[in-house]
Structure formats: C-alpha cells, structure tokens
Amino acid sequence: MTGYWVAMTAMFLLAIALAVLPLVRARQANVDRSKGLNLQLTRQRLLELDKELQEGLIDAADKKTAEDELKMAMVLEQQEKVALRQKSSLIPLLLLVIGLVVASASYWQANQLSLLQGWQQAMEDLGPLGRRVVVEADPNLTADELQRFALALRTKLKEDPSSPEGWLLLGRLYASLGRLDTAIESYHKALDLDPARPSTLQSLAQALLMSNDEQNIREAKAYLLRLRALAPDNEGAMGLLAIAATQLGDKALALSNWQALKDRLPADDPMQQEVANRMAQLSPQAQTKLMLTVNMAAELQARLPENGYLFVFARDAQGQSRLPAAVVKQPLSAFPITVSLTDDDAMMPGVNLSSLKQATLVARVSLDDKVELQPGELQGEINLAIEPGNELSSAITIDKEIQ
C-alpha cells in the first residue's frame, strides 16, 4: 500500500512538470519576440536622428540628448523584464511546493491506512489469539501477537468498560510486554469494578513492586495486606508481602510472612532453601563476644609508661595470617582492666571473631598510640577456643618485656 501512494505521488509531480514546462517556454518565447522588436524600433529611431541632423532640423547636441534618452529607456525596460521573469520563475517553485505538500499528505494517509489495517487485523484475530492466550497459554506467542491482542481487547473494553476480567487480562498483557504503567492503570480499573478479587490484588501488587518506586511499594504492601486478609492461604501473597516488607525495612513483617510461606511449602520444595536464605539475611545474628580481664605482673608495674596505651587484639591461632580479627585500643589506666572484643571490632569484613575457631589473644602496653612493636613495651598472650555466637570470658596477664 505504501508503494502505491509513492507511485501516485511521483505521477502527480510528473504531471505538474508537464503542465508547467510549456507555459514557461511560451513565456520565454514572448519575451524574446518583444526584445527583438524593441531593438528594431531603436535602430530605426537612431537612423531618423542622423537624417534630421543632416537636414539641419536638429543640431549635434539635440541628437546626443535624444540618443541618451533612447538608451536610458532601453535599460529601464530591460530591468522591468528581468523583474517580471523573476516573478514568473516563482510559479514553478510554488507548484513544486504544492506537489511536495500533497505527496507528504499522501504518505501520511498511507501510514494511517496501515494503522487502520493493523487494527482491523487485530480485531479479526481477537478470537483465535484470545484462545491461545487465555485457554491454551501458548508459550510460542510472539510480542507482536500479544500487542495485536492487547489492541483488540482495549478496543472491546472501550466499547464495554464494565468487565473486570477484561481489564485484568489487559493488565497482564501489558505487564508481559514490559508496559508497567499501562498495566497498573488497567489493574486499577479492574479493582474499581471488583475490589475483592484476589487475582487482581496480587497482579496489581506485583506490578507495583516491579516498578521499584517507594510509593508504589507502599501501595503494594497495602494491597497485599488486604489480600492476606481475604485469602490467608495465598502463598503468592505471602512471598510478595515478605519482599515488600523487606524493601520497606519492616523486618518483623517480612520474617513472619517468610515463615508462613516456609510452613506451607513441602519439605522437598526447591523454594525451601531460597526462603531459608531470605530469613537468614533478615534474622539478627547472635554476636560473638569476648570479655577479657587484663592483669599486670607485679614485677613489671614499675616499667609502665606514664602516657602509654593498651592494645588488646585477637588473631587466628591456626592460620598463617597475622591480621587481627578484632582490635581494641585505649589509654592506659589502672590494672586490672576489662575490655570486650566483638565482631564490631574487626579491621576488615569477613575477618572477625566469629570466623575464628582458635584465637591467640594479645594484650600489650605500648609506649605510644602506634601498633608497631617497640623494645621496652610490655606484652602477654594466651590461646583460647572461640565459640561463634556465644559470649566468652577470660583473663590475660602482661608478664614480659619486649627486648
């Protein structure tokens, strides 16, 4: 169809050219004839002036004046004709512009006709496509077929907008095509017509969650709470509500819904592990904590620096790394001193007290606030088994001087 309109446009432009060219040529011929006649009359008048001068009717000055007037008249006439030709040349250009406008309008009309044909085809396919989408759930449906079905269904709903099932189906079509905003709008219309339909509440909440907009997530949470009240055993609602609550920072609500979903799933369901992982991420982890009492040997009391610091740290007793898993530093005070080491005292992620099975605990009196070992500093150490997630107590005595 587009090729047809392009061909018609080309023929229209050719017709304009065939009509204009004879007019242009005829106008040029008239101009040439007029120019020849004027030259002939001018030569004749010049001959008459020579004859009048010979007969003594005029003198040389009069002849000169008359010749100048003739030449000036010729120049002015030629300028008028040039201006006239310029105006005449605008006519083909104007006709060409008109032709282009008509061609553009024809092309636009062709496109509109193409859209109309697409809509008509969609309406014809509504029945077969509907059967493949709704009844058969055909996995081979293409995006183009879904788009055509959505177009036809939207037209039907415009004629009769009172079908909540139709709006729900349209929303799901738009969601599958990635048009979330239009899908949410369709779900809202379905919900307005049937506020208690669980499938609409769940589809709307899912689309709102997919938008990743905080306001939409809050709206989804409200719909899912309503859905849980209407259908307490709806597993989809449990999972979606847990996700919404997690994104909004409501850990208690998220955990309760994950637990409810976990209780309903069969023990061998692959989702069991995913739910357990989600719950582990939300559950508060029991922290490993070590309460350590640091004593000073009596024979070293006199060696304490006046402005020293106390360093207490734990490192892996079984590994090669000397990197501390936890470190505490504080100004020196009267002994005994009790300090606590936890996972919060780690120097880098993943290397903490809870990652250790056997720890070497070191207490050091430093001459300054630098951790580097220096001669004259005082130190003591012990080995201790670590029980991740538990609170332990122990004591250490600083009993030697670094040489």
369 vs 214, higher pLDDT: 214
Beta-carbon count within 10 A of 315 CB: 19
Return the pLDDT at 113. Answer: 38
Query: What separation in angstroms does the CA of 46 have from each of 58, 110, 114?
Result: 13, 66, 72
User: Using DSSP, how many helices (H) and how many strands (E) does the chain show?
Assistant: 11, 8
Burial call 53-89: b when 16+ CB within 10 Å, e when fewer: eeeeebeeeebeebeeeeeeeeeeeeeeeeeeeeeee
Q: Is residue 314 within 8 Å of 326, Cβ to Cβ?
A: yes
> pLDDT, tens digit, for every residue of 296-311?
999 998 889 888 999 9
Burial readout 355-379 (b: 16 or more C-beta within 10 A, e: otherwise) = ebeebbbbbbbbbeeeeeeeeebbb
pLDDT for the residue numbered 72 = 59
Output the pLDDT for position 376. 87
Q: Indicate the pTM of the whole model.
A: 0.48
Q: Please give the DSSP secondary-structure letter assigned to residue 132.
A: I
Q: Which amino acid is at 4?
A: Y
pLDDT tens digit sequence for 202-240: 999 999 999 889 999 999 999 999 999 999 999 999 999
Mean pLDDT of the chain: 77
Neighbouring-strand partners of residue 329: 311
Q: What is the pLDDT of residue 214?
A: 92
Which is higher by pLDDT, 71 or 150?
A: 150
Rounded distance, CA 241 to CA 258, Å? 9
- The residue with tokens 């300028």 is 79
Confidence check: pLDDT of 47 > 80: no
pLDDT at position 217: 95
Output the six-digit token pair for 334: 């009267």
Q: Determine the Cα–Cα distance for residues 18 and 14; give it in Å rounded to an integer.
A: 6
Is residue 295 within 8 Å of 335, Cβ to Cβ? yes
**Rounded distance between C-alpha atoms, residue 133 and residue 1, angstroms:** 30
Q: In which band, very low, low, confident or very high, does the pLDDT at 196 lie, cut at 50, 70 and 90?
A: very high
**Range with the poorest average pLDDT among 140-154, 183-197, 381-395:** 140-154
Say how far apart CA 187 and CA 209 lie, in whole Å: 14
Per-residue model confidence (pLDDT) at position 143 = 79
Q: Does 86 have pLDDT greater than 80?
A: no
Identity (one letter) of the amino acid at 272?
Q
What CATH code would you report for 289-401?
A: 2.60.40
Grouping H, G, I as helix, E, B as strand and the rest as coil, residue 18 is helix
Neighbours of 155 (CB within 10 A): 13
Of 56-60, 149-153, 398-402, the least confident: 56-60
- Grade residue 153 by pLDDT with cuts at 50, 70 and 90: confident
**Of 393 and 29, more confident:** 393
